[in-house]
């Protein structure tokens, strides 16, 4: 697996990472713990060294899983986690990036991940009640204390990124980016390119849709987040199949799968973009990792660009309430 540098901070990771959230959060039913650990081990064997989790996934259980799975490989992997939520009775109860809360969250993450230092620490969502300068300053202190190596933001707007970066250099921005979620191209991607910040693309396969394995008849399990997202209604899936048809055309011509083409497209946009597809199936890990060796030519990328520009995606990526919490 090739490596990529996330911006100019010196943070180097595998070209494709692994999003671990779905192993214990949002995409019920979850795999058996032993199977999830085996999947993570197989990903390491295939050259993946970049693993993504967060305290809110569970909450807490995903960090524990990732920590246990990666303990034997600690010296050769990069683990990213996130702070920024408040919990009551074991459930998410709003956002909180108060400095003392950040410090407490980091202590918990260090224990659950079984590490002495967090490689990459993101603010999970922007907290409108806490100046981003205070957040960045707190992480700067944690870096000075040796508890954190690199600072990241998630789903932050361009001005927020600039303000944070002025206090503590931001190494990576994690935001949704894929062939059907491209709103960041207008302002955010140019901003982070200017500042030397890498982009970690979550949901690069559109929560599974761009892999071409679901249609209007697909049923999501109880507790699956896609049950409430506008883009995954039966009507939206029927309407958005036109994008899948485009992807499948290129997949056939490259002797690849739809998932591999969707990921190869993300990789081709900038050399400092790293997608982190999530899966609970081992064969999907192998399939996704295969995208790193697929090269789309300038002509092919332009053809995809021209064709996709004529496609109107039906359904917003989040509900209105969820979108308001992104900080964009």
Q: Which residues are catalytic?
A: 57
Contact status, residue 200 vs residue 174, Cβ threshold 8 Å: yes
Residues written for the chain? 328
- What is the 3-state composition of the chain as percent helix, strand, coil, each rounded to the nearest 5? 45, 20, 35
Q: Exposed/middle/buried for 308, CB within 10 Å: 0-12, 13-18, 19+?
A: middle
**Selection from 166, 249, 240, 171 nearest residue 210 by Cα:** 240
- 99: its two tokens: 């400095």
- What is the rounded CA–CA span in Å between residue 179 and residue 182? 7
Q: Tell me, what DSSP letter sits at residue 293?
A: G
Backbone angles phi, psi at 152, to 5 degrees: -135, 160
- What is the rounded CA–CA span in Å between residue 140 and residue 190? 25
Q: What is the largest CA-CA distance in the chain?
A: 54
- 2: its two tokens: 């090739």
């Amino acid at each position: 697996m090739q490596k990529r540098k996330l911006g100019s901070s010196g943070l180097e990771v595998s070209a494709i990472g692994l999003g671990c959230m779905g192993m214990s959060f949002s995409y019920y039913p979850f795999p058996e713990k032993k199977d999830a650990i085996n999947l993570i081990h197989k990903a390491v064997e295939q050259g993946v060294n970049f693993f993504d989790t967060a305290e809110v996934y569970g909450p807490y259980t995903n960090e524990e899983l990732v920590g246990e799975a990666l303990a034997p490989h600690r010296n050769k992997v990069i683990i990213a986690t996130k702070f920024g939520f408040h919990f009551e009775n074991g459930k998410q109860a709003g956002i909180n990036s108060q400095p003392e809360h950040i410090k407490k969250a980091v202590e918990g993450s260090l224990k659950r991940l079984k590490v002495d230092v967090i490689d990459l620490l993101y603010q999970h969502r922007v907290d409108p009640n806490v100046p981003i300068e205070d957040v960045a300053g707190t992480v700067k202190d944690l870096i000075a204390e040796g508890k954190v190596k690199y600072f990241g933001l998630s789903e932050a707007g361009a001005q927020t990124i600039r303000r944070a970066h002025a206090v503590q250099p931001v190494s990576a921005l994690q935001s949704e980016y894929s062939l059907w979620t491209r709103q960041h191209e207008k302002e955010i991607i140019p901003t982070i390119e200017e500042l030397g910040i890498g982009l970690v693309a979550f949901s690069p396969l559109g929560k599974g849709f761009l892999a071409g394995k679901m249609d209007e008849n697909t049923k999501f399990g109880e507790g699956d987040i896609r049950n409430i997202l506008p883009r995954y209604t039966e009507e939206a899936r029927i309407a958005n199949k036109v994008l899948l048809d485009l992807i499948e055309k290129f997949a056939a011509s490259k002797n690849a799968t739809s998932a591999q083409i969707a990921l190869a497209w993300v990789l081709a946009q900038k050399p400092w973009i790293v997608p982190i597809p999530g899966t609970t199936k081992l064969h999907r890990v192998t399939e996704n990792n295969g995208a790193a060796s697929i090269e789309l030519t300038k002509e092919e990328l332009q053809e995809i660009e021209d064709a996709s520009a004529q496609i109107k995606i039906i359904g917003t990526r989040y509900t209105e309430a969820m979108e308001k919490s992104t900080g964009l």
